[in-house]
Each structure stands twice: as structure tokens, then as C-alpha cells.
Amino acid sequence: MKLLQFMLILFNVVMLAFIVYIGYRLLRHHRRKKEDRKNSTALCPKCGSANGQMIGSNIIFAPSKYKCRDCDYEGVFLLVINHKVKEFREYVRKQNQAKKIKKDVKNKKN
């Protein structure tokens, strides 16, 4: 009988510890996400420019739409963490280059 009681208490302690741990993880995740949002910039996915103007943000829960002042792209901008902006721009530049080469090859064939 005493063993059963002991097991029950042990089980409760373990469950409590588990719940506290999960709560702590959730809180940390939430805080980190908030911080990420604060430390990130909305960038144009087409040219990597941060020079966007917000348009049509009247719908709640829908991502805000932007219009790029540099390439006229209209749509959702990507939220990029500030220290990854350079990397993202490099990626976009390479993508655009690849697209241009593909286009050139196509034009040459025709």
C-alpha cells in the first residue's frame, strides 16, 4: 500500500515537472518569435528590396500586402531576420541571374 502511494506521488511530481517544462518551452518560443519579428525586415521576394509600401492591410489575420517601389512586385513580403538580409539578397540575386540565363537560352533557341 505504501509503495502505491509513493508511486502516485512520484507520478504526480513527474507530471508537474513535465507541465512546467512544456510551459517554459512555450513561453521561450513565444518570446523568441516576438523578438524575431522585432529584429526582422520585410523584403521583396523578387528583388530583395526593403523599399516596399504597405497596401491593403485592412483584412485582419491576412498577411499584409506590399508594393515594391523598386520592381513593382505586389504581394506578400518576406520577413527576414536582420542578420540574414544580406544572405537573402545574395540568394535573390543568384535566382534572378539563373532566371535571366534560362530566358536567354530560350530566346537563342527560338
Residues that bind Zn ion (CB under 5 A): 44, 46-47, 49, 68, 70-71, 73
Least distance CB 81 / Zn ion (angstroms): 19
Least distance CB 11 / Zn ion (angstroms): 57
Least distance CB 83 / Zn ion (angstroms): 21
Residue with Cβ nearer Zn ion (71 or 85): 71
* Long-range CB pairs of 33-37, under 8 A, 24+ apart, other chains included: 36/81, 37/79
Count H helices, E strands: the chain?
2, 5
Residue 81 three-state SS: strand
Residue with Cβ nearer Zn ion (46 or 84): 46
Residue with Cβ nearer Zn ion (12 or 51): 51
Least distance CB 70 / Zn ion (angstroms): 5
